[in-house]
Structure 1
Amino acid sequence: MLRGNPCVCGSGEEASESLMSLSPFDMKNLLHHILSGKEFGLDGSRPISRCSSPSSTPSGMLSPVAGGPGGAAQLSWEETRGQWLRRRRLDGAINRVPVGFYQKVWKILQKCHGLSIDGYVLPSSTTREMTEGEIKFAVQVESVLNHVPQPEYRQLLVEALMILGLLADVDVAHMGGIVHVERILHGANDLFLADQKSQGTNEYFLEKDPATGICNFLYDSAPSGSYGTMTYLSKAAVAYVQDFLPSSSCLMQ
């Protein structure tokens, strides 16, 4: 499991004293850093940011391809890793979803028999009982998502559902029976690993979360970019529902 650097150095008493001495402005900045997923420390009585955006190639992929586990590549990864992993953990822990998420889930359910999310099924009959903007529907969706114990895994499932929602907006009359969202996510994970291995990425960076089988590097990848999570989720989602897409659709390569 990836771990970030400790947010506060020194003893517990020193940390507590520094925290209590912060001005309202500094406290506001500190909360902003926490919610944005940045690392921070306390320098005297002021919070200081320790996390900048990970350096990336023009394609958007981090490049841990040289050296062994003890080499310079690992040191670079140790310094920059964790930003998106922490963001997903935070969003998953507080059940944060993108704008329009529940409406997209509602549209998906209208075109299949149900959504299987980590083994729990949200039936399509839900759309006949509730409207897309109804609070009860959002609660029903959350009741299924809340069965996912890992917040970062939950957030990748949310991203996969957003992609499926975009496909549901295409002229697709039906998406099949039960749509297994976790299969789309694992398909994206397989594509990601294949690309990373073809780029010569060191095996050290391709370790999988034993609880979910998802590569830790994928958890910590930005959504956008050629090597972003949305790219792989889009490819996996299109492959999953390909038989139901119009023949004139432009399929992702």
Structure 2
Amino acid sequence: MLKSTDGIISQSQILKVLFQREGANFWIEGESITSKMEHLIHQAGLYKEWSVVRLQSALLRKTVDSLAPSVTTILVRGKQVTVGVYGHEEEVLDKPVSPGYLQELIFKICLPYNIQEAVIQQELILGIGKLIATTPDLFDGILKIRIGWFVRAMRFELDLDEEGLELHDLSPNDIKCMLIAVLVRNMVDSDMRTPLQKRQLDGALNRVPKDFYDRVWSILEKTPYGIKVAGYLLPQQPTLSDMTMYELNFSLLVEQMLSKIVDPAYRQIMVETFMVVSTMLERNPEATFDQAVNMDKIIAEAFEEFQRDLSKSEGHEKQDDMTKFFNTPPNVRNGTSRYLTKSVINNLLDGEMKFVSDDMCSVT
């Protein structure tokens, strides 16, 4: 098949099968398979078949220069980095690593799920390292740079701009431009986006409001039994006694809790829910929760109420798909904030919150 196939993409797929089946020492017509793959990379580069370049490069475990220094640059800016394909396990990098370790890690964690992404993630680490050194403001509100989720964010962007085009088809320069576009557009409200698209992008980039972690701390002060998100419990103690509100370790602990969420749009709704709960507690300083605050329950009850209203107005039957909810703006007459606020108040009245005094007049 290889001898009778001229197309670069077809040859690439055949070489992939041969390489995986026979290994790097397999010879074809007096030439090693690795040599044939190197030639194909060069040929594909000339024809701008970037998907082929990335596939063959990943199979040969090639790494770009300056990868480990780029990770160090990101860490120096007070961020963490995770590598791993979206929807699968991630590995956190919280201290500088050697080039060899980083190479081994990226291929071990990416190859089983998406071969080309083992190269794309390297390109992104390199690009983010350069951007964060020159334009750090682009990463405001992003504490943990989850490379696989950045890839997901770029795919969201690509779906809007180029129908049918895959991320691994883009040139390395286009990948850099797409990265910048995602970060820049994420920082400004664009009329081109639906609320769903904005939440998907915000959630995939892990961007949170400026005072978000301080607000979570304030909630934790009022929750003796802790905060629960996606089955993960953030306990009040020893968290409050071991840490301070403004230290990085607390923010990272909150990010660890949020990382249990698997859907970017839902993650963003969760961030919005934290902001609503924090606002409610600010308006009612005498209130405390008398059991663990189940944030997923608050969202679920808000969604239930949203569906009831939708059924009355549009005749929709109840369904588990939250897309319509995610696609509703937060701060409009019947926006998500209204339903989240109502859910928080219902939890208050159902006994999940208690008051030191009887003054509830500030609840609105």
Q: Same fold (TM over 0.5)?
A: yes
User: Aligned match of 1:117 in 229, 239, 246?
Assistant: 229
Q: Is 1:146 equivalent to 2:300 in the alignment?
A: no
Give the letter aligned to residue 345 of structure 2: V
Indicate the residue corresponding to 2:329 in structure 1. 222
Equivalent runs, 1:40-55 vs 2, <5 Å: 52=192
- Please give the alpha-carbon distance, in whole angstroms, between the structure 2 residues aligned to 1:146 and 1:30: 20
Q: What is aligned with 1:96?
A: 207
Task: Answer yes or no: is 1:165 the counterpart of 2:274.
Answer: no
Q: For each residue in 1:200-243, what CA deviation from the matched residue of structure 2 results, as whole angstroms up to 9, or x when unmatched?
A: 2545xx7533xxxxx21011111111111111100001111234
Asked if structure 2 preserves the Cα contact closer than 8 Å seen for 1:160 and 1:237, the reply is no
Residue in 2 that maps onto 1:176? 290
CA distance in 2, matches of 1:224, 1:16: 37
Distance in 2 (alpha carbons) for counterparts of 1:97 and 1:234: 19
d(CA) in 2 for partners of 1:185, 1:221: 14
SS in 1 for 2:209: coil
Contact between 2:280 and 2:363, CA under 8 Å: does it hold in 1? Answer: no
Q: CA separation in 2, counterparts of 1:99 and 1:201?
A: 39
Q: Does 1:188 align with 2:302?
A: yes
2:228–2:294: 8 Å Cα contact kept in structure 1? yes
Question: Match of 2:231, as an amino acid?
Answer: G
Shift of 1:168: 2.0
Is contact 1:37-1:90 (8 Å) kept? no
Tell me if structure 2 keeps the 8 A contact 1:157–1:185. yes
The reply to whether residue 232 of structure 1 matches residue 339 of structure 2 is yes
Q: Is the 8 A contact 2:298 2:344 kept in 1?
A: yes
Question: Counterpart of 2:206 in 1: which secondary structure?
Answer: coil
Residue from 148, 156, 160 that aligns with 2:269 = 156
TM, length-normalised to structure 2: 0.47
Offset from partner CA, 1:115-156 (integer Å, 9 cap, x none): 000110000011121111111100000001001111111111
Q: Does 1:8 align with 2:162?
A: yes
Q: Which amino acid aligns with 2:324?
A: F
Q: Give distance in 2, aligned partners of 1:122 and 1:30.
A: 31
Q: With a CA cutoff of 8 Å and minimum separation of 6, indicate the structure with the bigger relative contact order.
A: 1
RMSD: 3.1
C-alpha distance 207-37 of structure 1, shift in aligned 2 (>3 A): farther
The question of 1:129 aligning with 2:242 is answered yes
**2:220 partner amino acid:** L
Name the SS for the 1:121 alignment partner: strand
How far apart are the structure 1 equivalents of 2:182 and 2:292?
44
Alignment of 1:204-215 (within 5 A): 207-209=319-321, 215=322
Q: CA deviation at 1:88?
A: 1.1
Task: Specify the SS of the correspondent of 2:306.
Answer: helix
Mapped to 2, the partners of 1:140 and 1:134 lie a distance apart of: 10
Unaligned segments of structure 1, at least 5 residues: 39-50, 54-82, 210-214
CA distance in 1 between counterparts of 2:263 and 2:208 reads 15
Q: Helix, strand or coil for the counterpart of 1:241?
A: helix
